[in-house]
Chains A and B, each alone.
Chain A
Amino acid sequence: MTNIQVLGHGCENCKRLEANAREAVAKAGIEAQITKVTDDPGIMAFGILSTPGLVIDGKVASYGRVPSADEIARWLKA
């Protein structure tokens, strides 16, 4: 089971990233749990400098941009 975290305070981009992540999970055909991290210390613990951030199994996959569902699916399968 893959653990996906979406880091951000809930702005437009964060919502889009979460939607893309859900689509990517469906595309990749894997089991994953998607959670959101919205508090500052929680977000900062990952050391990102701009939101939204995407964390896959504890590793920061991207931050400061909204990767497309296809792109995330590629990472999930990697």
Chain B
Amino acid sequence: MTASTLRRVRVPLPLSVAAAVVAWLVAWFANLPLANWLAFDVLRLEAGSHLGEAVAFFLLDTPKVLLLLLGVVTVVSFLRSFVEPERVRRALAGRGTLPGTVAAASFGIITPFCSCSAVPLFIGFVEAGVPLGVTFAFLVSSPMVNEVAIVLLWGLFGPGIALAYMAAGLAVAITSGLVIGRLGLERYVEDYVWTIRAGSAMPTFRPTLADRLHDAWRSTADILGRVWPWVVGGIAVGAFIHGFVPTDLVVSIGGSGNPLAVPALVAIGVPLYSNAAGTIPIVEALLGKGLPLGSALAFMMAVTALSVPELVILRRVMKPRLLAVFVAVVASGIIAIGYLFNAVAA
């Protein structure tokens, strides 16, 4: 009996899915009592003390966020295997500017975005006659409004801020798309893009339900494997801030009294791309210490929306001028959102 013959014995699919769901639910409901028991009974920390609260926060939030990521990313990956970019493109090509831009930004929420796919996507969209502005609306919203960010926001801040982030992200994507569309920048797309005669392919083989589940599980394991150290690190730093950093310090640096706080946070956020999972828990703690909501949102949006690796890849299809306009328009949109939320909240 070798490992390979053992592997042939397959557990029926519905059974393994049901087992996974039950295991997830058990872990979810055991989390709070377990965290409290560990912090206050096993480690004998004092409830209400700086250290006790910091440790309890860490023990509660780390499993909570990782479990949420595990569950939501699996479900989202599975569901979106049914959303084919080919269909999205066809739906976007034949629309007017405004409905097309809004639709593109909304599609950006559900479609996966991998910066290594940005180039084929861009060429494919432009080739099929999707206007440049509409294409940009998609390029902006797709990485910004992604499931990892939404899960972290929902888990750590609650639905209100997660939805505010989503709405703000859509607003920035739609506005950027409309502005870039109006500027008529087609000549700053690399010339070869217009000469490519792209075929139109539909995959020959359709994945089965089991294939899709396998895919979803695989990509979830991938994503979690990549982000978990950042999540744990981010929550550890967040827990420290919760317990020890004085509120006055945060308010004096990032508060609405400092007019340069929003642009400064955006400038810090751009290079932090791969750390979206690590920055959100830290922002959560800073928010609790008096960082205004607008500043916090702007910072998180800058982390997810603009990234250096993505810009390097997009340079292959865009001349520097177009790339610069792209960064400037998106960054201005994010800064505007920051000021707006700060003004409304104040």
Contact = CB atoms under 8 A, between A and B. Distances in A.
Chains A and B bind each other:
yes
Interface of A: 8-9, 11-14, 40-41, 43-51, 53, 56, 59-68, 71, 75, 78
B203 A60 contact: yes
B226 to A, nearest CB: 9
Given A50-B85, A68-B214, A13 B116 contact: yes
B215 interface: yes
A50 B81 contact: no
Nearest to A56: B204
A68 B124 CA distance: 26
Contact of B85 (A9, A12, A49): A49
B85 A64 contact: yes
B119 A47 contact: no
B196 interface: yes
B114 A50 contact: yes
Contact of B124 (A44, A65, A66): A44
A62 B116 contact: no
A76 to B, nearest CB: 11
6 contacts: A40-B196, A44-B127, A48-B124, A49-B89, A50-B112, A63-B203
B124 A47 contact: yes
B261 to A, nearest CB: 36
Contacts of A8: 116
B86 to A, nearest CB: 6
Contacts of A43: 120
